[in-house]
Structure 1
Amino acid sequence: MRRHTVPPIPVNALERGFAVLECFAAAGRPLGNGDVAQATGIPRPTAYRLISTLVALGQLRPCPDSDKYELAAGVVRLAQSFLGKIDARRWVRPHLVALAEACSASAFLALRDGKDVLVVEAARARSAVAYLGADVGTRMSLATSALGRAWLAGVDATTRDAVLAELQAGGHLAGHPDLAPRLEAALRKARRVGYAVSLGEWQADTNAAAVPIRVPSGEVFSLNCGSPSFLTNPDKLRDVVIPRLIAAAAAFAADVGGLSGSELMAWQDAQAAPSALPPASPALPPASSKQGRRRSTPRGDTHGDPLSH
């Protein structure tokens, strides 16, 4: 006979303790009791008791030169335990398979390797077998493929500028007089809408879109979906592929505690902004609830043509 279990009752003190830790993670700097109380809405005496408890547990530590506190080695041990168990290929596999089947296309996960991105996991719809031109181990151009452009859009500005300078110095943008300005425009758009597009630019007969994903270790992957242009024209890419791609990337990011697409871009913008005390909300890397991360929508206007450059 099956037992009917009663949903557990949340422990308020535990929730508040994690709210305090998330507040410190989001701030990225030492905070005092008043700072925590203001950011979390927790009464100041309660915030003091919670901070004292977290100090005793090794999750926070007092700053030596002020009356503020900062994250301690205890949270690093917890994070390392989680990060050590992340296998991106294993986690992404079901999302790639579902995406490929839903779009009757191919789907790949890739990361940067020199001047290219390297496909590390792949899936294809059963109906797409005869048209698959890439698989695990395939290299694609950073400058012209959707996977490469998504990766460039997904890293921080310093890394992006350095990689682009390497591509320029290595002559990888030469031979195509308009490639550099087209890439610049594509990256601006990708930063705005949360995904990158390549319409016959990596291969003349291939259309694809890709979304960047940053995992808690800081590594950036890109996830794409596409197929030959006679199967996936720009209208299908816009109306069918891109919405499902965004959802798949968000689901994968939620599984591993990372960020994807527009959410990743917003986080990067916040990191680049002048330091200020934010509300108590998760900062990267948030190994937190999967709810609320399953959907990621572009920040730009998507009522027009999202494929135009």
Structure 2
Amino acid sequence: MSDAEDKSASGAQTVRRALALLRLIACGQERGVRLVDLERMSGLNRPTVHRLLKTLVQEEAVEQDPETRRYLIGQEVTLLGLARTRRFPLLTLADPYMAELADQVGDTVFLSIRHGHDSICIGRRTGRHPIQVLSIEVGVRRPLGVGVSGVALLASLDAGESVGLVRSNAARLEVLGERVEDVIARVEKARKEGLAHAPAGLMPGTSAVAVPIMLGKEQALGAITVTAMAERLAVERFGTVVERMRQAAAGIAGRYAQVAGRT
């Protein structure tokens, strides 16, 4: 390899590592992420992580909270994202169905997509019930398998592929207190049942259920999740809620296929 090729390869590796850190930091949202956790999740040594973070902070792509010393996504990344405000056509197509579903069930509806090894919430609609469970914010990025949306997305994949994705997220899952074997078991259960259900949600006294939005038998466009107080997803109401979720998912997939067929 020539010197020029060697420098090019080194430069590409640096860019990939910096982007990997940005994705990990994005998972922390307003809480931020500790340096030690960035090391554990990225697999990089401390000097490398520190060097990359220093540059990202200088470029305002990353901020460091002066009190907690945690790292957060900086304003430069946010401003860059504004250049593509119409980046998610699925959200535009899905929004009417999400609004109708939220009105029907009375609880909060989320839309999530898969991006690489993560699930990302890109939309949310609230219902009319007095108590809404806003368990996550739009923009939340989590390793696939954390939360029912990620489990539903993994369950839509081939078993071998889903297991590989979960295992590749092992370090990140460990930081979040999740065991690879437990996540794989949840995915297998969801694959058999056609949905992912967490009787005990992220917040005490809540519950959540997710179904994939399937375009054909093999491609998942995303996942719809409903979160509610646990009693509102109890046995006597659960089937009705899931049926309406599946109708919404089918409607979104049908509309997506219709629009895609025109282009």
Per the TM superposition, whether the score is higher than 0.5 is: yes
Structure with greater Cα Rg:
1
Hey, what does 1:118 align to over in structure 2? 120
State the Cα RMSD in Å.
Answer: 3.4
**Structure 1: gaps spanning 5 or more residues:** 1-84, 259-285, 289-309
**Aligned mate of 2:98, from 71, 96, 99:** 96
Rate the CA distance shift 1:137–1:101 in 2: closer, same or farther, 3 A: same
Identify the range of structure 1 (87-96 vs 141-150) with the bigger mean alpha-carbon deviation: 141-150
Deviation of 1:119 after TM superposition, in Å, equals 0.8
Deviation of 1:173 after TM superposition, in Å, equals 4.1
Contact 1:154–1:213 (Cα < 8 Å) also in 2:
no
The whole-number CA distance in structure 2 between the counterparts of 1:132 and 1:171 is 24
Hey, what does 1:228 align to over in structure 2? 229
* 1:127 alignment partner, SS class: coil
Instruction: Could you list the structure 1 runs, at least 4 aligned residues long, displaced by more than 6 angstroms after superposition.
Output: none
TM norm structure 2: 0.56
Hey, what does 2:23 align to over in structure 1? none
Q: Which residues of 2 match residues 1-309 of structure 1 at below 5 A?
A: 87-113=89-115, 116-128=118-130, 131-140=133-142, 142-168=144-170, 170-173=171-174, 176=177, 179-215=179-215, 220-230=221-231, 232-235=232-235, 238-257=238-257
The whole-number CA distance in structure 1 between the counterparts of 2:261 and 2:88 is 11
* 2:169 alignment partner, SS class: helix
Rate the CA distance shift 1:142–1:103 in 2: closer, same or farther, 3 A: same
**Structure 2: gaps spanning 5 or more residues:** 1-86
Contact 2:107–2:227 (Cα < 8 Å) also in 1:
yes
Aligned residue type for 2:164: A
Contact 1:116–1:148 (Cα < 8 Å) also in 2:
yes
Deviation of 1:137 after TM superposition, in Å, equals 1.4
Give the structure with the higher percent helix: 2
Contact 1:155–1:220 (Cα < 8 Å) also in 2:
no
Rate the CA distance shift 1:257–1:114 in 2: closer, same or farther, 3 A: closer
Rate the CA distance shift 1:113–1:153 in 2: closer, same or farther, 3 A: same
> Which structure has the higher relative contact order (CA within 8 Å, separation 6+)?
1
Aligned residue type for 1:249: A
The whole-number CA distance in structure 2 between the counterparts of 1:163 and 1:201 is 23
Identify the range of structure 1 (136-145 vs 247-256) with the bigger mean alpha-carbon deviation: 136-145
The whole-number CA distance in structure 1 between the counterparts of 2:95 and 2:203 is 25
